[in-house]
Amino acid sequence: MALKTKEQYYQSLQKLHPTTYILGQKVDNPYEHPLIKPMVAGVAKTYDLAHEPEGRKYLVAESKLIGEEVTRFVKFYESPDDLLAKVRMLRFLTQRIGTCFMRCTGMDAINSVGIEAYDCDQECGTKYWERLLNFVKQMQQNDLVVFSGVTDVKGDRSLRPSQQKDPDMYLHIVDKNDDGIVVRGAKIHQTGSLCAHWGLIVPTREMREPDKDYAVCFAVPVDAEGVIHVYGRGTLEARELEACDLGNIAYGKFANMVIFKDVFVPWEQVFLCGEYEYAGPLVRHFGNFHRHSHGGCKCGMGDVIIGAAALAADYNGLSRVSHINNKLAEMLKTTEAMYGCSIAASVESVPTPSGIYVVDPVLSNVSKLYEGKELHEVIRMMIEIAGGMVADLPSDKDMENPEIGPLLHKYLKGVEGVSTEDRIRLFRLIEKLAFESRDIVSNIHGAGSPETHRLTVLRNADIESKKKLAKNLTGIREEKKD
Amino acid sequence: MALKTKEQYYQSLQKLHPTTYILGQKVDNPYEHPLIKPMVAGVAKTYDLAHEPEGRKYLVAESKLIGEEVTRFVKFYESPDDLLAKVRMLRFLTQRIGTCFMRCTGMDAINSVGIEAYDCDQECGTKYWERLLNFVKQMQQNDLVVFSGVTDVKGDRSLRPSQQKDPDMYLHIVDKNDDGIVVRGAKIHQTGSLCAHWGLIVPTREMREPDKDYAVCFAVPVDAEGVIHVYGRGTLEARELEACDLGNIAYGKFANMVIFKDVFVPWEQVFLCGEYEYAGPLVRHFGNFHRHSHGGCKCGMGDVIIGAAALAADYNGLSRVSHINNKLAEMLKTTEAMYGCSIAASVESVPTPSGIYVVDPVLSNVSKLYEGKELHEVIRMMIEIAGGMVADLPSDKDMENPEIGPLLHKYLKGVEGVSTEDRIRLFRLIEKLAFESRDIVSNIHGAGSPETHRLTVLRNADIESKKKLAKNLTGIREEKKD
Amino acid sequence: MALKTKEQYYQSLQKLHPTTYILGQKVDNPYEHPLIKPMVAGVAKTYDLAHEPEGRKYLVAESKLIGEEVTRFVKFYESPDDLLAKVRMLRFLTQRIGTCFMRCTGMDAINSVGIEAYDCDQECGTKYWERLLNFVKQMQQNDLVVFSGVTDVKGDRSLRPSQQKDPDMYLHIVDKNDDGIVVRGAKIHQTGSLCAHWGLIVPTREMREPDKDYAVCFAVPVDAEGVIHVYGRGTLEARELEACDLGNIAYGKFANMVIFKDVFVPWEQVFLCGEYEYAGPLVRHFGNFHRHSHGGCKCGMGDVIIGAAALAADYNGLSRVSHINNKLAEMLKTTEAMYGCSIAASVESVPTPSGIYVVDPVLSNVSKLYEGKELHEVIRMMIEIAGGMVADLPSDKDMENPEIGPLLHKYLKGVEGVSTEDRIRLFRLIEKLAFESRDIVSNIHGAGSPETHRLTVLRNADIESKKKLAKNLTGIREEKKD
Amino acid sequence: MALKTKEQYYQSLQKLHPTTYILGQKVDNPYEHPLIKPMVAGVAKTYDLAHEPEGRKYLVAESKLIGEEVTRFVKFYESPDDLLAKVRMLRFLTQRIGTCFMRCTGMDAINSVGIEAYDCDQECGTKYWERLLNFVKQMQQNDLVVFSGVTDVKGDRSLRPSQQKDPDMYLHIVDKNDDGIVVRGAKIHQTGSLCAHWGLIVPTREMREPDKDYAVCFAVPVDAEGVIHVYGRGTLEARELEACDLGNIAYGKFANMVIFKDVFVPWEQVFLCGEYEYAGPLVRHFGNFHRHSHGGCKCGMGDVIIGAAALAADYNGLSRVSHINNKLAEMLKTTEAMYGCSIAASVESVPTPSGIYVVDPVLSNVSKLYEGKELHEVIRMMIEIAGGMVADLPSDKDMENPEIGPLLHKYLKGVEGVSTEDRIRLFRLIEKLAFESRDIVSNIHGAGSPETHRLTVLRNADIESKKKLAKNLTGIREEKKD
């Protein structure tokens, strides 16, 4: 039963009862809430596609762990080909969903935790790797969704976890006993925490000895006692609340804050507990993997953005205009650079002792730098091509008003052969692509912020060997003398 | 009585009864509607500032026409100093209002119409200039707000007005009699049409002989019979509808579609009627003037964006971080280039036969190109500096919830010495600055789209004389021979 | 004897007597000329490295054709791995040579001609493929260097070959007989034509029926009768002529014009002769292959540029300065994007009927776009980091002057521990990297100009399928109706 | 006799005998040396133009100091109009000379020294201002050229002057007596030191108490005893040495190193001597003034670059191609932004106690940032438009060779109606504009390096007031509390 259907996924959610607050209200069944539903639908779509012939090719692989077919979302990266397949799967899915579908954070976290759990066991005699294998088996056997809890709220960003005035600004262990540990803290920007069955919680940064209690990694069900999901507001909510003028008519994204109010975690779900030296490598692996994921999904997003812009040109009567073609080429340049560098990061991946492959860190971070810095310009070019109607179209409710509806249908018509209704649908999609804060901010800050990517590129690029190349060409000998 | 107070402005609106539709509903008093009110407040603030000592210096000037003090918003540009004063006024106001306050379209239209009305009278024996002077006098004497109706809906953009299948895709004259004319069409993106008393309607493009009936320019009260204002949706409406999580707590922007359903205009309000040769120059003047206006107001917007980003760095505990300073410098570079080129365009302005000065077209369009292309990157840098919380903060309603409110206050705290409430207020402002569609799209498409600006730069830059410079340096003689 | 040594390469050149003009003089032995020698040395280095352990891994592969080890420079691309190996080989070599070593144009041409020769034979019953195999065997067996003659002088670029006033502005067939053909024309920017043994001449553009005589492809020895090599001037010649202040002390680049003054070519060396439909695909393959080559070599160049910049910072006493690190990261971003997209273009290559694999055209052209547009900025950043001394250092001759030499040694000293001599050597390298016209112009125009790459990206990107993605998300159905 | 003719300028140089080394040789009459002559010709042209009607308008102004007409190059900036006139003069001259003409460094230095000399006198009771007035009078009365010696060699850039191992890495006072001072050190990048009559030597950075002896400012004749000029190599010297393939056929630029080997300076020529607090403001004024100068001259350079690119398109048969027009517009955008910000910096200038006006530092530094960062891209676009022939044209000597000359004339022909000779002349100019190291490096490092400009922008932009604007809009009150 490793591959659930869409319906089975929906049924599985009915058994969960996460503590949820949305816009000041405690909500009993968040899965039906208009602000949450569109993202659940996106995740459901990933289940659906795993059963379709084209989707299967991208999504489904054999698990050595359970000897069955599983989705790649709960599989280890056991070869460069697994990493190539991941990038292509994420592009394929985003092309069809047009926004986040949330399952890659868990996938990237499973692999990151795996590498360090294995290493820690080897060096410290712990048993984390075996526990993790059991957890992953369970996820595979039941085809479950895992979100990864990475981003702490952080308080004063110039201070380390143990230096904060309030010790809870990073999630940490507040108690331990024979059965397990108790943790406190809050993770923010938790994309789709309410679409998942489990959370895999990892440290958000490297830790030092005094930060020991913050070096903790564990799995927890989304409705464990003390776990509180608080909805974070996005930009286009008035549309979702009214189910109107949506743009992307089926799918959407939300991002929660998840508060851990003294949550108990049994030992079998704990994968790091005080071994602070592993926190840094773990989160760096996660970062590199997740930037590599963005290379696939955001390129898929780019495909939609480019398609929407080109279609807007058609609908405005401006197909084949030279400056528009020039912009489309520039948009392709950025999106394909993101994709190309992620593909290359897969090809140049190397195995770790755990058997899990890590991507080339320079290439995966370069890919994300293009996303963080240039994708915003791709979006600007889409707006430029589409024209001013992205800003301020009347509502569908106006279109249906008997007095002004006919006038609006008349005046909002574009090129012959395209209905006013279709033209408006397209402009609403472009509006969504341009102004949905969760997507746009994810481009910039998702999987770390650009400065982190720059730093990672720099640290991994072996500048010293490049200096030697320059020296050799000039005839400067290695031993410097005066 | 040339300078109204804020209260007098509000009173004056009460006498108007424009036909208005908002989200499918006919609305009786739009001025009180939560989606319209914030922009009316912005316009009201401009009245208020004209009575404060610092504001007076920027806003108030002597009118030769009526021999009284008037606001610059209804004054002709009679010298380079008037144009310099305009840029500085707009920067000053935007710094205080943080979004559009709408009065510059009317100002720019009055001047554009003036130049061509004068020329047309000289060449065709019409009487437009005198009529316009009377109209402007009336605006000055009563300190009224004028919106300029420029942007037609345009239909198929590859076709000229007279080539469209539906002849109404550009506003045109459908009837004429002894008393006046009757016009039909629709203008879109009419920023603040409901904050104004009058509209000054101008052609949106150059016209040829077959487009004669589209070469029409006139003034009309916003509540004239047949004038219908339809609200165009923006991105952050859920906030305004709930008066919550606003960011910019007092001011906002909307942009309407304004439909002209066979509107009668008496001759004394008509300033162009079929003289198609003047349509192109008129709208080109408007474009150049309005790009020049953006140089002031969007630089003021840039000041707010830069201030918000720098403050966010403080509140996150990251003041004086090197990469943030580097970004602030880049943000200043773009905004000051916009401002600098607008100042220079004023200095290099030249008089027309009407006595009205026109700005240097290359410099004013270069200024707008920086806005259209680079200001989006300034906004991205603001998001990058501010961090992920721009995407998805819980609502103030959650903050007030007795169960989770205290937890949120705890976990959303940044640096010591700044309240969580203030931090959230700031992130809401940044969200507004980053995602308010009317402002962002105005950066790109306001006063024409970047391709128009490029073309205008190119047409006015005298490339031939630059070729001669190159030839002279190489010793190529003018007469080419083989 | 498939792999020559460096010495054997030099000996082989002694047997050639190409007609050569340099700065107005006919030169008997061009290989010893100070302006030609540095590039011959670069090619010789590629021979040398094929015999060293590390170089072997990159350069040497088994040829199915002759059953022996050959250099990849004369091998067909028979798998994605061959294409990956090529990119890595070119990066490896450029890191060690620091400029062009010329052998990839021949390699790319052999493969491009191969694909179309095969197709033409299948469709037209010609025998080009077999002839080409014989030619390639000969190159492999003797380990020879092939330059590809692509770029015609072109005359008036708005006219097709057959429309030019002077019919010789594109190389064409002027006579045919039983033994072979006679060709006339001129190819410009022929990097390293004097380092090669043979030229493989291909059409520079697509051809139509009237251009039939221009659709010609053939191999010719560099010293065939009627082939004239004319040296094209570069920027830093005064240094090479004096063997002083060189920067890159061993290697350099030149680019000749090669005139074909009625050159006879026997039929066994002719691979296309009038089948105009194959000219376009052939040159498009060449373009895509060669842009893919640039992804490797120019990334290697980027490694040298980055190393030189980082070393300059050290030598100036400015290691670890924040803004310099930031620039190094940006430099890495561009160079790794070029590399990453070339790697990805290899991974996504597909076989043609000939068995030769073609790279993904979108990814290979995107790689080149980064080179054409962004590498110039990488170079600017190197200059910015290095500081003003790149502009105007005194000569080594001044350093050796007994009166001022000691003063210069004193005053041009940087950080302690680095000799003034080494510092100057480095600045000379940076000067060479920044101002050698053949390298810089190759970044922009090599393998076609940026507009060609944009167009190729656009043509191959399947915009229509992206439009469908957008439609699906909005609910627009395929059949448009009004 | 305040305005010399060109001939009088040449005569005046004959009286000077500066100690000069060029490429390892001591040179007796440097003014006739082929590497120096072209820049002397540029300076001579500025004399010439002051006597032509159009040039007069830009170059000549009334001096209050001597009550005569003088060139603006030796005049104080006594109003915003003086600063506007300066920008326009520099643009006008560069359009005609196409490279540096050197006279603005002296002009900017005179004004910078003036401001601080005046302030120092007021605060410290010194007599520098009067001495400076006498020096300026002498320059005006004899219409002399002044170069400003700013840039010290600097040694280890992480150390202050007094911290350097070798105390001579910044110019300093080594002795003082009743008659004057003795100075030692070296200034590098001294554009045109051999075209000037006098040098005005100023500190290159701010100084602290231990750096006291480095806080020195004085005037010195270019041929004073102990002043040694050493020629710094540029890129295209082979052309100048052969007087062939020049591009810019009349004018060129060089930049010397000027060594001060214990040079005696009498007190009347000393304008600062140990008052270290004035060194920083002095060089900051110089920087701001000189960045403002670049706004004019580099915009003139941009005019030539744009003209050359547009002409190359014509000569290639590619006039009016859409992507070329697009690039020309982008090129105009950058150059006009430089100009516009310099004009605006003049308009917003303010007086100092000395009566000398200082430019707005934000706007003048923003102007230079566009030059430092974007002008390189303008040059890249010129190369892109011009095509590959910029890289490697045969020499004029080849053109004149009887055997290949006719072939080259045939094959290097472009569009009909333009001679091959003229086409080559143009490509040589483009080569010069693209690859002359002194000009390109001056774009980046002239008047300080981009990081200095960023820092200056940041320091002068009043970020705190912008933070307040943001606070006001959000309702955050000034007193922070928790």
| Tens-digit pLDDT profile for residues D50-63 | 999 999 999 999 99
What is the per-residue pLDDT for D479?
Answer: 59
CB-count burial class (<10 Å; 0-12, 13-18, 19+) for A257: buried
| Optimal mutation site among A323, A324, A482, interface D, most CBs of chain D within 10 A | A323
- Chain D residues with beta carbon closer than 8 angstroms to that of C434: 437, 440
pLDDT higher than threshold 50 for residue A481 = no
Distances (CA, A) of B268 to A217, B127, B178, B196: 78, 10, 11, 20
This prediction has a pTM of 0.97
CA atoms of C90 and C339, how far apart (whole Å): 11
pLDDT higher than threshold 70 for residue D15 = yes
CA atoms of A437 and B434, how far apart (whole Å): 9
Q: What residue of D is the nearest CA neighbor of B465?
A: D307
Mean pLDDT of chain D, nearest integer = 97
For residue range D36-46, what is the model confidence (pLDDT) as tens digits? 999 999 999 99
Tokens encoding A61? 């692989």
Q: Torsion angle of alpha carbons C155, C161, C167, C168, nearest 10°?
A: 60
What is the per-residue pLDDT for B481?
Answer: 45
Q: List phi, psi (to 5°) of D143.
A: 50, 60
CA atoms of C51 and C7, how far apart (whole Å): 12
User: Considering just the CA atoms, what is the radius of gyration of chain B in Å?
Assistant: 24
A255: helix, strand or coil: strand
CA atoms of A459 and D373, how far apart (whole Å): 26
CB contact (8 A) between residue B362 and residue D455 = no
CA atoms of A397 and A239, how far apart (whole Å): 11
CA atoms of A118 and A130, how far apart (whole Å): 9
What is the per-residue pLDDT for D352?
Answer: 98
- Chain C residues with beta carbon closer than 8 angstroms to that of B322: 322-323, 326
Q: List phi, psi (to 5°) of D364.
A: -70, -35
Q: For residue D396, what are the contacts with CB-CB under 8 A and spacing of at least 6?
A: D244, D245, D424
Q: What residue of B is the nearest CA neighbor of A451?
A: B323
Distance (Å) from the C-alpha of residue C53 to the closest C-alpha of chain B? 43
Interior/surface letters B337-356, b for 16+ CB within 10 angstroms, e for the rest = bbbbbbbbbbbbbeebebeb
Q: Which of B98, B332, B475 sits opposite D425 (nearest CB)?
A: B475
pLDDT higher than threshold 80 for residue D478 = no
CA atoms of B378 and B310, how far apart (whole Å): 13
- Chain A residues with beta carbon closer than 8 angstroms to that of D322: 322-323
Q: What residue of A is the nearest CA neighbor of C346?
A: A344
- Tens digit of pLDDT at every position of chain C (482 positions): 679 999 999 999 999 999 999 999 999 999 999 999 999 999 999 999 999 999 999 999 999 999 999 999 999 999 999 999 999 999 999 999 999 999 999 999 999 999 999 999 999 999 999 999 999 999 999 999 999 999 999 999 999 999 999 999 999 999 999 999 999 999 999 999 999 999 999 999 999 999 999 999 999 999 999 999 999 999 999 999 999 999 999 999 999 999 999 999 999 999 999 999 999 999 999 999 999 999 999 999 999 999 999 999 999 999 989 999 999 999 999 999 999 999 999 999 999 999 999 999 999 999 999 999 999 999 999 999 999 999 999 999 999 999 999 999 999 999 999 999 999 999 999 999 999 999 999 999 999 999 999 999 999 999 999 999 999 999 998 754 44
- Chain C residues with beta carbon closer than 8 angstroms to that of A470: 304, 307-308, 311, 426, 429
CA atoms of A219 and A234, how far apart (whole Å): 28
A227: helix, strand or coil: strand
Count chain A–chain C contacts defined by CB atoms under 8 A: 219
- Chain D residues with beta carbon closer than 8 angstroms to that of C410: 166, 168
CB contact (8 A) between residue B388 and residue A151 = yes
CB contact (8 A) between residue B404 and residue A259 = yes
| Optimal mutation site among A100, A233, A237, interface B, most CBs of chain B within 10 A | A233
Give the chains touching C; criterion: ≥3 Cβ pairs < 8 Å.
A, B, D
Answer yes or no: are the C-beta atoms of B305 and B94 closer than 8 Å.
no
The HSE-up count of residue A462 (CA atoms within 13 Å, CB side) is: 9
Beta bridge partners of C273: C216
Q: What residue of D is the nearest CA neighbor of A326?
A: D323
CA atoms of C192 and C97, how far apart (whole Å): 14
CB contact (8 A) between residue A392 and residue B157 = no
CA atoms of B73 and B388, how far apart (whole Å): 40
CB contact (8 A) between residue B317 and residue A157 = yes
Q: Which of C25, C414, C444 sits opposite D383 (nearest CB)?
A: C444
Answer yes or no: are the C-beta atoms of A62 and A270 closer than 8 Å.
no
CB contact (8 A) between residue B332 and residue D362 = yes
**Banded model confidence at residue B479, pLDDT cuts 50, 70, 90:** low
CB contact (8 A) between residue A370 and residue C458 = no
Tokens encoding D202? 């100023």
Answer yes or no: are the C-beta atoms of B141 and B69 closer than 8 Å.
no
Tokens encoding A100? 């986040």
| Optimal mutation site among C323, C327, C384, C482, interface B, most CBs of chain B within 10 A | C323
Distance (Å) from the C-alpha of residue D203 to the closest C-alpha of chain A? 28
pLDDT higher than threshold 50 for residue D482 = no
CA atoms of A85 and B151, how far apart (whole Å): 49
Tokens encoding C316? 């100036």
What is the per-residue pLDDT for C481?
Answer: 44
Q: Which of D165, D231, D391 sits opposite C232 (nearest CB)?
A: D391
Distance (Å) from the C-alpha of residue B102 to the closest C-alpha of chain C? 33
Complex-level ipTM beyond the 0.85 threshold: yes
For residue range A75-132, what is the model confidence (pLDDT) as tens digits? 999 999 999 999 999 999 999 999 999 999 999 999 999 999 999 999 999 999 999 9
- Chain C residues with beta carbon closer than 8 angstroms to that of B323: 322, 326
CB contact (8 A) between residue A336 and residue C362 = yes
CB contact (8 A) between residue A333 and residue C366 = yes
Count chain A–chain D contacts defined by CB atoms under 8 A: 6
CA atoms of D87 and D295, how far apart (whole Å): 7
